Amino acid sequence: MYAPLRHLAEHFDAFERWPGLHDYQQFLNTWPDTIKTQTGKPLKIVAQDGKPGSFEEHYAPRIFKTGELQTRTENWHDFFQYLTWFMFPQTKAGINAIHLPHAQQRIEVTQEHARRSPVENMLSLFDEGGAIIVSSDVALLELIREFNWKELFWQRRDELKQKLACITFGHAMYEKGLAPYIGMTANSILIEAEQEFFNKDNAQQLQWLDKQLAALFKAGDVLAKPKDLQPFPILGMPGWDSGNGVEAYYDNADYFRPGRKGKHQAVLVARR
């Protein structure tokens, strides 16, 4: 689960205490490609402030307008949020930019702070608890769309090693993975790729996925509401839970649910 960000987290292995905000910023400064918002502002790590007094002081607008990423210290949630900006800079910036007009309408115009639009809910669900399921075999992706978990994870287990990857996106999902539990479910996007994808190294895979995701969110025609995301029982991935090496593991219908066929429409992006 943590393989895609291990090269980033390893920078902090030698720390005997939690990194401070200056440590986060220092690593950001050494990154070869400056991470920017869609307004061209370089990402900057700042302390979390109190209750915002204006729209511009809210979390997402501050990122968009100033590049300031409010971050709590000694906090796994914010640590993984920070790392995912390195992994998916274009997509994170894109999600932030899409949030802005919807949040502004809700907060400044309608004054309905708590009633997020379907688009906002979808963006938050993916940003917090999302995963990307990429495969060179459309039949494997179709098994996910059909909630056919046992065939996917058990009967075609050996194929997954060569033809399918689950790349965790959401920082909250990474946090949950520190103490995994049966029930962990990702809000996923399905992407079809050439088999060549699996010959790429981690950095190349992330770069390719970031480009595809950013374009997908920008298009705005297939990701508009929470049900456009595909539920995915993430601990079903071979080796992601110590107990899933036996067939009976996948008989747990409370976790590997049959789903609501016809109601959830997974996103399938073909790249040929």
Each residue of 82-91: pLDDT tens digit? 999 999 999 9
Residue 272 reports pLDDT greater than 50? no
Q: Please give the residue range of the domain that contains residue 183.
A: 125-270
- pTM for this entry: 0.92
In a domain, 68, yes or no: no
Note whether 49 and 66 are within 8 A (CB): no
Cα 99 to Cα 38, 64, 105, 123, 165, distances in angstroms: 12, 10, 10, 8, 28
Is 153 a member of any domain?
yes
Contact assessment for residue 213 and residue 132, using Cβ atoms and an 8 Å cutoff = yes
Averaging pLDDT over each range in 44-53, 102-111, 128-137, which range is the top one? 128-137
How many C-alpha atoms does 134 have within 13 Å on its Cβ side? 19
Q: Average pLDDT, whole number, for the chain?
A: 91
Residue at 32 is within a domain: no
The angle at the Cα of 70, spanning 67 to 73, to the nearest 5 degrees, equals 140
Task: Tell the residue number behind the tokens 């456009």, with chain if given.
Answer: 228
Judge whether 184 lies within some domain.
yes
Residue 62 lies in a domain: no
Q: Report yes or no on 258 lying in a domain.
A: yes
In this predicted structure, which of 157-166, 193-202, 219-228 has the lowest mean pLDDT?
A: 219-228
Q: Give 85's strand partners.
A: none
d(CA 120, CA 100): 9
pLDDT digits (tens, 9 = 90+) for 174-221: 999 999 999 999 999 999 999 999 999 999 999 999 999 999 999 988
Number of structural domains in the chain: 1
